[in-house]
Structure 1
Amino acid sequence: MDSLSEAVLSGASADELLSAPVPSEYEAAHLRVTDVEMFAGETDKDVRRSLRVGPVAMPELAPDEVLVAVMASSINYNTVWSAMFEPLPTFEFLARLGRKGGFDKRHDQPYHVVGSDAAGVVVRTGTGVRRWKAGDHVVMSCVSSDAEEPATHADGMLGAGQRIWGYETNFGALAHYAVVRATQLLPKPAHLTWEESASSMLCAGTSYRMLVGEHGARIKQGDVVLIWGAAGGLGAFAVQLVRNAGGIAVGVVSSPEKAALVRELGCDVVIDRSEIGLGDATTAVEAGKRLGRVIRREVGEDPHVAFDYIGRATFGISVFVVRRGGTVVTCGSSTGYQHEFDNRYLWMNLKRIIGSHAANYQEQSECNRLFALGKLVPALSSVYPLAEVGDAARLVQQNRHTGKVGVLCMAPKEGLGVTDPETRERIGERHLNPLRPVL
């Protein structure tokens, strides 16, 4: 272990961290450009084969960047996409970024360090960073945006230079160190562990923008919200946000076991998707009628909002089932990007579709504040060491997980990083970890 890592793990002071040299290389989960064609002609693109853990070169810091010792990270579906080299290899993103020149050229490497969620300790800051210093405990937003681009100051997600860190950029989260822009950092909630904090921001921030933020559905008290994949990372936070807003959460899950966990999160109505009978675009209206009957039986009315990140398999149903004037808010598409729906049910019933992507810095900050207040809790279900990151990603790839799957990076074990034990005790261990097995 390098001396800087030893200093971090010993809780060293800022001066001690700054006096320890930055290593020339570090351990990271990464993909290799030479493996891009490894799944050609195969149906099971097993990410355990493409995700490698080993040393990579330490990049130079740009003036607006921060080097963070990553204590923990987590798996998001973009890591699965990256490791499958779908819908296209991420090395194309890195090459495009590298062509901009300057510090962006660093990202174009024959390896890609992946991962878009992390919590850790600041160990170095660029010459232009003002608000962060060595020793700060932080969580990281997945959104890397260009502060010199005008559109960014209206909404960080509108800038053409906005990229998802660790997916469209290099030097991501599933590693012992990560390079991020200073405008990606937020203070770590002091009562949470490293792995709890590291499992939250991408999915929680995305769900916040979709449902609560001014660019999303803007849910209100009493709204009935249909949440597809309510036991997944995005869905688990959507359930909590609807509950906090005084709405009625209607979650769709894939098994009785997941149904029990979603009820633990506070979901008002839980529906097994086998009751609906998902098919394709030609059967969406019939499936929507079945789903609508179940929802009306349970809550007496149609949903105001459909929260849909599933995509191809569910989108036509979402458009059909929301009430007249209702809203479908969508991001991602885990079952496919090509969505089909009967437009008559959209235009004649004055419904809306809102496209949403991640969350801007202010939305991320507001969401992080909810964690700090204990109004949102992590959706962590299991934790793997960095050496087993392929197994963790495979779990998500096969949809055998609930909530979020954490990864310990530099942290030697679970349960570390809490600096406010009083708040943690007040909230309660079980409440903070509703998706984890009861020990």
Structure 2
Amino acid sequence: MFAQVVRQGRFGDPLTAFEIEEVPVPEPGPGEVLVAVMAAGINFNNVWAARGTPIDVIADRRRKGEPWDFHIGGSDASGIVHAVGEGVESVSPGDRIVVHPGHWDPDDAWVKGGNDPMLAPSAKIWGYNTNFGSFAQFCLAQEHQILPKAPHLTWAEAAAPTLVGTTAYRMLFGWDGHRLRPGDLVLVWGGSGGLGTQAIQLAVAHGADAVAVVSDDRRGEYATRLGAIGYLNRGGFSHWGVPPHWDDAPGYGAWMKEARRFRQALSEIAGRRSPRIVFEHPGEATIPTSVFLCAPGGMVVICAGTSGYSATVDLRYQWVMQKRLQGSHGTNDDQARAYNDLVREGRIDPSLGEVVPFHEIGRAHHDMANGIEVFGNRVALVGAPDEHAGVTGR
């Protein structure tokens, strides 16, 4: 089969890290499903895979005894079941499906004990920590990852949202005592991007109010069309990044003045409410503001660090106001099914942005790595003849 392949000797810019190669089609083992890929979603995790940092995913897998000296990424797929391994009963060849990214060892003692599998030692993100993701003519997934495709969506639309949507669902509903509730205010960073578009729609679908943070007014208008009650243009503020140390009174005071001005802009949209949930993924540039803005007893929930990993938190706002800083990663089956049901019901739009041909997967990751944003989600066509194919019902 043909695949977009990353090798260690090409780590760096995704534009050159990805190359089309011909590799063997993997055989489905027990509990596995081989899928003919129609379209593949493009996410930031395979920018990291192409760079070889923060994890060299190839070396990591080889240390664990896997033989492959290459990486086929892609953590979103729409396609057709081609073959199934021993013991697979819930899907059959010919089924039209999507793949969710939660992957784990079914024999893991933690999983067998009925616990959240994404907290298991064996938990992985499919198509990042695993090989044979969706950037190939065929991908290999576990049976439990397979979900029915929404008939009203094209292959491209169906491939767009599952990783970001299920990630957003876990962030908003996965944490005891801090699950999204009707009437909540949610601040959504990157409200016009993949994660943000899904978070806004999930909030609206559950009776909550979302305010988007975006990089320009056009993106803000896009977020409001998805249901956000308003937006903040971060370009009008200057306090991003690691703030001055607290004992630098002039520097910290200047940072705090901007943070308070940002809070005032939020109040002008949402009234005197503070966000009970702050939906985070930029990380280093925004965490100080997120913790400052979060309501007492509320939660800042984060799934990435696209602006950097060395975040600084003023602990005075953390402990005195009893705010929670919660990490979130991936999805479990229940969360993925709940999200996919909303998509199939037409209550969540996949927010399809850019569609690229298979040979431009490296370029699309390069653009993402360099901050060239699209509205919504990027997708690459693999087996689908065009971006309009795949609809079977309305």
TM-score by length of 2: 0.93
Contact 2:77 2:99 in 1 (8 A): yes
C-alpha RMSD over aligned residues? 1.5
2:53 corresponds to 1:86: yes
2:85 corresponds to 1:126: yes
Residue 249 of structure 2 corresponds to none
Contact 1:93 1:169 in 2 (8 A): no
Does the residue aligned with 2:71 lie in a helix, a strand or coil?
strand
Does the residue aligned with 1:281 lie in a helix, a strand or coil?
coil
What amino acid maps onto 1:330 in structure 2? I
In 1: Cα distance, 2:176 partner to 2:87 partner: 30
Does the residue aligned with 1:112 lie in a helix, a strand or coil?
coil
Residue 197 of structure 1 corresponds to 158
Residue 214 of structure 2 corresponds to 253
In 2: Cα distance, 1:141 partner to 1:215 partner: 23
What amino acid maps onto 1:93 in structure 2? D
2:275 corresponds to 1:303: yes
What amino acid maps onto 2:127 in structure 1? G
What amino acid maps onto 1:382 in structure 2? E
1:24-423 to structure 2, matched below 5 A, reads 26-36=1-11, 39=12, 46-97=13-64, 99=65, 105=66, 108-152=67-111, 153-214=114-175, 217-282=178-243, 285-300=256-271, 301-400=273-372, 401-420=374-393, 423=394
Q: CA deviation at 1:150?
A: 3.1
In 1: Cα distance, 2:256 partner to 2:157 partner: 40
Contact 2:8 2:52 in 1 (8 A): no
Q: CA deviation at 1:168?
A: 0.6
Contact 1:216 1:354 in 2 (8 A): no
Q: CA deviation at 1:61?
A: 1.9
What amino acid maps onto 1:297 in structure 2? E
Q: CA deviation at 1:216?
A: 8.1
Q: CA deviation at 1:278?
A: 3.4
Contact 2:189 2:214 in 1 (8 A): yes
Aligned-residue identity in percent: 36
In 2: Cα distance, 1:256 partner to 1:279 partner: 19
| Unpaired runs of at least 5, structure 2 | 245-254
Partner deviation per Cα, 1:53-94 (whole Å, 9 max, x = no partner): 121122232111111000001110001111122113211222
Q: CA deviation at 1:215?
A: 5.2
Q: CA deviation at 1:214?
A: 4.6
Does the residue aligned with 1:113 lie in a helix, a strand or coil?
coil
Contact 1:66 1:125 in 2 (8 A): yes
In 1: Cα distance, 2:361 partner to 2:340 partner: 25
What amino acid maps onto 2:388 in structure 1? G
Partner deviation per Cα, 1:83-119 (whole Å, 9 max, x = no partner): 122113211222133x2xxxxx3xx312111110001
In 1: Cα distance, 2:120 partner to 2:300 partner: 24
Q: CA deviation at 1:52?
A: 0.9
Q: CA deviation at 1:366?
A: 0.6
In 2: Cα distance, 1:418 partner to 1:357 partner: 31
In 1: Cα distance, 2:237 partner to 2:129 partner: 36
Contact 2:10 2:16 in 1 (8 A): no
Contact 1:217 1:354 in 2 (8 A): no
Q: CA deviation at 1:250?
A: 0.8
Q: CA deviation at 1:332?
A: 1.0
Q: 1:369 to 1:216 in 2, by over 3 A?
A: farther
In 1: Cα distance, 2:387 partner to 2:274 partner: 43
Moved more, 259-268 or 206-215: 206-215
Contact 2:229 2:269 in 1 (8 A): no
In 2: Cα distance, 1:119 partner to 1:235 partner: 21
How many residues are treated as equivalent by the alignment? 380
TM-score by length of 1: 0.84
